[in-house]
Structure 1
Amino acid sequence: MTHTHRTATAARSAAAHLRRRGWERERVENVVFGALAWLMRAFLLVITVVPLVYLVALSARPLESLLADPLRILPTAAEATLDGYRRALAPMEEGGYDVGSFLLNSLFVGLGTVACALLFSVLGAYAVSRFHFPGKRTLGVLFLSVYLFPAVVIAIPLFVLFTGMGLRGSLVALVVIYLAQTVPVALFMLRNFFAGLPESIEEAAAIDGCGGLRTIRHVVLPLAVPALVATALYVFIVAWNEFLFALLFLLETRESWTASIGIALLDNQDVAPTVLLAASVVMTLPIAILFLFAQRVFAEGLTAGATKE
C-alpha cells in the first residue's frame, strides 16, 4: 500500500508539474505573440498615418514657412492657413487651378464604374454560381486571363478604337475601359460569396412565388451586402486612382481631366508646393472617408444577414 501510495503521489506530482510547465509555456507564448502583434499594429499605424498627417500639416503652412523649414511638421497657430486649398479648388477664372472639377470628374467616373460593374458582376456571378453549363469551370480562368497582359499592351489598340469612334476625351469611354479592368475581379469576388449562400433560401423564395430577378433583389442582395460593399470599394478605388488610361484618353481635354492626371499635370507647371499638397489631400480624403464608412456598413451588413428569417 505504501509503495502504491508513493507511486500515485509521484504521478500526481509529475502531472501537476507538466500542467504548470504547459501553462507557463502557454503564458509566455501569449505574452510574446501579443507583444509582437502590438508592435506590428504600431508599425503599420506609423507607416500609414504619419505620411497622411505630414501631408495635411504641410498643406496648412504658408509657402514661405514651408520653404524655410520643410522638416517641421505642424504649423503654428499664427501661420496656419487654408490658402492652398482655396487656390487649388477655385476655378481658373478666379485665379485657382480648378481641382474641384477634376474631383467631380473622378467622382463621375468612379460612381459610374461602380454602378455598371455591380450590375454586370451580380448577374454574372449569380449565374455562374447557380446554373450549370458547359465550360463553367474555365469561365473564371478566361475572365481573369485579362490580367495576364499589362495595361500598356491594350492601351494602343483601345486608343485607336476609341479615336475612330470619336470617344477620345470622353469620360464615358473611361468608364467602359475601367469596366473591362474591374468586372472580372468583381465577378470572381461575388461568385465565391453567392456560392456560399444556401440554395434553400432561394428555394423558399421560389415557393412563395418569387421569380429569378425578384429573388436576387429581395433575398440574395440583402444577404450579400458585405460582399457588395467590398466589391464596390475595390472598383471605386481602381477608378479613382487609375492614371495610365486617363492620361492617354483625356490629355487633350482639360475639362475632362480626372484628379489623378490633373494633379500630376499641375506638378509639371509652375504651381506652388502648398497648392499641390492641398490638392493631394482633397484627393486622398474621399478614399479615407470611404474606408471609414465601409467599416460601419460591413458591420451592419453582417449583422443584418445573420438575423434574416
Structure 2
Amino acid sequence: MTPIFHDEHLADRASMLAMRAMLALGGERTLGPAARPEFDALIARTPHADGIVYEAATVAGVPGWWCRPADPSGDGVILYLHGGAYIVGSASAYRHFVGQIVSRARLAAFVADYALAPERPFPAATDDALATYRGLVAAGHRQIALAGDSAGGGLTLALLRSVCRKSDLPRPLGAMVLSPWTDLALTGASVENRAAADPLLTRKALEEAAKLYLGDRSRCAPLASPLNDDLSGMPAVQIHVGEDEILLDDSLRYATRMNAAAGGRAGVHVWGGMVHVFPSNVSMLKAAGEALDIAGAFLTQISVGAAP
C-alpha cells in the first residue's frame, strides 16, 4: 500500500511553531528514570474524553487501567502499550490519551503498566505484554485489538508477531500504532535526514534508552526490533507517523516489509509537519483529532471483522 500523506493544516502551523520554540528552550532531553515525573506530567495533560470510565485493575499480575466507553460497539477490547522508550511512561498518565482513542473506537481498552528498564530490562516488557494478552483471553476476551505508541508501538508489533505464532491463543484482530520504534539499531535514513526537523527525539537519547533496555543484547533481535521479524501472515496494521520525526523510516520500512510479505496488510498515514506521537496533542492540533478519528474507525472496523 502506498503511504497516505496528509498535508499540514494551516491552523496547526502556529501551534507547531510555538511547540518547537518551547521545546528549544528546554535544552537536550534525556530518557532515564529521572525523567519519569516530567514525562508523565506531559502526557497526562491530554484532556479526558466525555463518557469514559477509568478503573485501576490488574490483569495476569500486570497492573494498569481500564478505559471503558459508555456505549461499546461490541465485545472486542484493546490492549494498549504506552510509549516512553521502554524507560518512562505509565498507564495512569496515559489513561486520558487512551480514552480519546476509546471514545472514537467505542471499545474498552486496558493500558498495561509493563516492566520498565533499567530496573527490569529486556525481555521483561515483552513478557509482561504477552502475559497481559493471555490474561485478557483467560478473562473471556477473545477479540483483542492491539495498540501502542513509540516504544509501546514497537512492543505492540512484537506482541502481534509473537501471539500469531502461538497455537493456544486467538489471533489479535489487528494493530494500530503511533510513531512505532521498530528498529532499535537506528539504521533508518530519517534518523539523520530528519534530525534537524525533529524537536523531540535525538539519536543520542534513543541510543542511551536502547542501551538501558537491552544491555549487551543485540539491537537487531526481532523481539526488540520487530522491523527485522518475519512479517508474513499477520493481521492488518495501521500506522500513523509525523513527517518531522527521526523515526519516520521505522514506520515506512515496517509497512513496506509487511506489505511485501505473504498476506501483509499495513497502511501508513504520514502527517505533514507533525512530530513524534503528535495525536497526544489533541486539544491543540487539528491533525491530532483527525488521526485519532482514522485510528478509532480502523479499530472499530477490525472489531466487527471488516477488512480494512
TM-score of the superposed pair, with normalisation by structure 1? 0.23
Greater RCO (CA < 8 Å, at least 6 residues apart): 1
Structure with more strand by fraction: 2
Whose Rg is larger? 1
Structure with more helix by fraction: 1
TM-score of the superposed pair, with normalisation by structure 2? 0.23
